């Protein structure tokens, strides 16, 4: 192993690493020798993939409480700013929570009240009015435009981009939407008379002491935050401390808790993975396990993961020339190695990042079976029981199997699409099933 390590160092002479000393804030069974070993493994892994051209540079960090206890800058320097891509949405949601605390915005205000004449709701879905809360929690029913663009878009005189109408009712399904957060940026601009870049600068950067962070030109509520390791550590810390920054309040503790609640109904389960306000959240029988968000695009690789119960957080910031499937595979390796370091700094014996979902038991599957219909197109879909699992069929196309992701949610078909069954909160009967581009109501019970 020693020879291999020496060989790696020789191979990576074109890379350089600037590091800050590892600081142990509290002696909770932290093994310094193990930290060094885990750190070497992480750096060697990153350097290898920089040499392969997967990234130009990479910075990583681990936070405990108020302190950045571990940071590395590979082919980079501490002052360098990186785009965080879609993690911007967490900043937008955090700014929104501060605006709500100040009484400037109301999460339950209708989008059509902010922009008179804008109606994204589709009559055939019998949807409640879309609110700012729906946009914040990705539950507006508008599609993810990366995968499906409706044939007709809505144009509004106060908004300079086309808007998609719903393809599902609001409040029933998590459906990731860049468009929704773009609309939030426009809504906050109209309500507060400030650009979203100014709102994030004043409500997040200044309030959290993120002195180096900036917004990209043309930033929206979905994209535009530029930050570095030191500033991202400060942002993570205020969530580790339930909204407290040093001795001052950044957010009320109740506001942090509200951001981490599921905003749509999900059947009871011990382990759940859902979307709150901005954050993706995972829970077990004892409460919050972690919250996280990812940012990825050509030139952007960012990850922020917070473990409040263990008082640690981890993140990376990088700049891949292309954000492809192979890139994502390498990033999973970085996450795991950072997770090992965070586990050690937390003084835990079991890996923090390991998580499993509760899935629907086989005895529950028959209630999903039956015929469904898409209200807009009239297309019929069938859910079939076969071989101890369920299969999904659209029209006369061949049926395909779907595998459990969590309780009442299954993945399958071309592109491994999510199929989320919508359940009645009162008695649990199946109302419909939503995919990434459609919503089917159940015809037979």
Q: What are the pLDDT digits (tens) for 399-431?
A: 999 999 999 999 999 889 999 999 999 998 999
Q: Please give the pLDDT value at position 133.
A: 98
- Angle at CA of residue 276, ends 425 and 442, nearest 5°: 35
- H or E element that contains 261: none
- The confidence band for 445, taking pLDDT boundaries of 50, 70 and 90, is low
Looking at the predicted structure, is the pLDDT value of residue 240 above 90? Answer: yes
- The confidence band for 13, taking pLDDT boundaries of 50, 70 and 90, is very low
- The confidence band for 234, taking pLDDT boundaries of 50, 70 and 90, is very high
- The confidence band for 28, taking pLDDT boundaries of 50, 70 and 90, is low
Second-level CATH architecture of 362-442: Beta Barrel (2.40)
Q: Read off the pTM.
A: 0.92
Phi/psi-derived region of residue 48, left when phi > 0, alpha when psi is between -120 and 50, beta in every other case:
alpha
- The confidence band for 31, taking pLDDT boundaries of 50, 70 and 90, is confident
Looking at the predicted structure, is the pLDDT value of residue 337 above 80? Answer: yes
- The confidence band for 437, taking pLDDT boundaries of 50, 70 and 90, is confident
At 115, list the tokens.
């922009």
The residue whose two tokens read 């399958």 is 412
Q: Please give the pLDDT value at position 105.
A: 97
Summarize the confidence of residues 154-164 as an average pLDDT: 96
pLDDT single digits (tens) 357-408 = 999 999 999 999 999 999 988 999 999 999 999 999 998 999 999 999 999 9
- The confidence band for 275, taking pLDDT boundaries of 50, 70 and 90, is very high
Output b/e per residue, 398-432; b: 16+ Cβ within 10 A.
ebeebebbbbbbbbbbeeebbbbbbbeeeeeebbb
Summarize the confidence of residues 69-94 as an average pLDDT: 98
Q: Give the whole-angstrom CA distance, residue 91 versus residue 138.
A: 15
Residue 166 near residue 141 (C-beta atoms within 8 A): yes
Q: Please give the pLDDT value at position 149.
A: 86
Q: Give the whole-angstrom CA distance, residue 17 versus residue 46.
A: 11
CATH 2.40.128.50 in the chain, residue ranges: 362-442
C-alpha 233, offset from chain centre? 18
Q: Give the whole-angstrom CA distance, residue 97 versus residue 123.
A: 31
Looking at the predicted structure, is the pLDDT value of residue 15 above 90? Answer: no
What is the dihedral sign for C-alpha 232, 238, 239, 241?
Answer: positive
Mean pLDDT across the chain: 92
Q: Please give the pLDDT value at position 336.
A: 97
Least confident of 28-32, 122-126, 188-192, 441-445: 28-32
Query: For 331-353, what is the HEC assignment?
Result: HHHHHHHHHHHHHHHHCCCCCCC
Residue 237 has φ and ψ, to the nearest 5°, of -65, -40
Second-level CATH architecture of 1-358: 3-Layer(aba) Sandwich (3.40)
What count of other Cβ atoms lies within 10 Å of the Cβ of residue 129? 16
Comparing CA positions, the residue from 38, 22, 75, 430 lying closest to residue 265 is 430
Looking at the predicted structure, is the pLDDT value of residue 25 above 80? Answer: no
CATH 3.40.710.10 in the chain, residue ranges: 1-358
Looking at the predicted structure, is the pLDDT value of residue 23 above 50? Answer: no
């Amino acid at each position: 192993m020693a020879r291999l390590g020496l060989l790696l160092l020789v191979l990576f002479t074109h890379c350089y690493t600037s590091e800050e000393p590892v600081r142990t804030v509290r002696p909770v069974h932290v093994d310094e020798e193990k930290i060094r070993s885990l750190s070497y493994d992480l750096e060697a892994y990153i350097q290898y993939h920089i040499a392969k051209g997967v990234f130009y540079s990479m910075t990583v960090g681990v936070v405990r409480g108020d302190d950045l206890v571990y940071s590395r800058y590979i082919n980079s320097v501490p002052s360098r700013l990186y785009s965080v891509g879609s993690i911007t949405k967490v900043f937008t949601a955090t700014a929104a929570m501060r605006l709500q605390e100040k009484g400037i915005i109301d999460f339950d205000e209708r989008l059509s009240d902010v922009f008179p004449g804008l109606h994204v709701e589709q009559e055939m879905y019998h949807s409640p009015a879309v609110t700012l809360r729906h946009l914040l929690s990705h539950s507006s029913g508008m599609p993810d435009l990366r995968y499906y663009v409706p044939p007709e878009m809505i144009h509004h005189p106060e908004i300079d981009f086309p808007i998609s109408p719903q393809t599902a009712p609001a409040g029933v399904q998590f459906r990731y939407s860049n468009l929704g957060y773009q609309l939030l940026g426009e809504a906050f601009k109209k309500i507060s008379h400030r650009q979203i870049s100014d709102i994030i600068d004043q409500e997040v950067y200044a309030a959290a002491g993120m002195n180096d962070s900036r917004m990209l030109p043309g930033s929206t509520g979905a994209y535009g935050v530029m930050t570095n390791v030191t500033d991202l550590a400060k942002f993570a810390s205020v969530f580790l401390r339930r909204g407290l920054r040093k001795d001052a309040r950044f957010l009320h503790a109740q506001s942090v808790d509200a951001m981490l609640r599921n905003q749509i109904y999900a059947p009871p389960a011990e382990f759940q993975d859902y979307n709150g306000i901005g954050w993706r959240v995972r829970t077990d029988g004892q409460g919050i396990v972690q919250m996280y968000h990812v940012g990825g695009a050509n030139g952007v690789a960012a990850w922020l993961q917070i473990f409040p119960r263990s008082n640690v957080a981890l993140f990376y910031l990088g700049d891949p020339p292309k954000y492809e499937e192979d890139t994502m595979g390498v990033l999973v390796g970085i996450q795991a190695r950072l997770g090992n370091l965070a586990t050690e700094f937390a003084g835990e014996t079991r890996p923090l990042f390991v998580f499993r979902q509760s899935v629907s038991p086989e005895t529950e599957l028959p209630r999903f079976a039956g015929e469904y219909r898409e209200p807009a197109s009239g297309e019929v879909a069938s859910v079939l029981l076969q071989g101890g699992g369920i299969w999904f069929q659209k029209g006369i196309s061949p049926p395909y199997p779907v595998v459990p992701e969590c309780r009442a949610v299954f993945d399958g078909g071309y592109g491994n699409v999510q199929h989320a069954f919508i359940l009645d909160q009162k008695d649990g009967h199946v109302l419909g099933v939503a995919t990434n581009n459609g919503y089917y109501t159940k015809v037979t019970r």
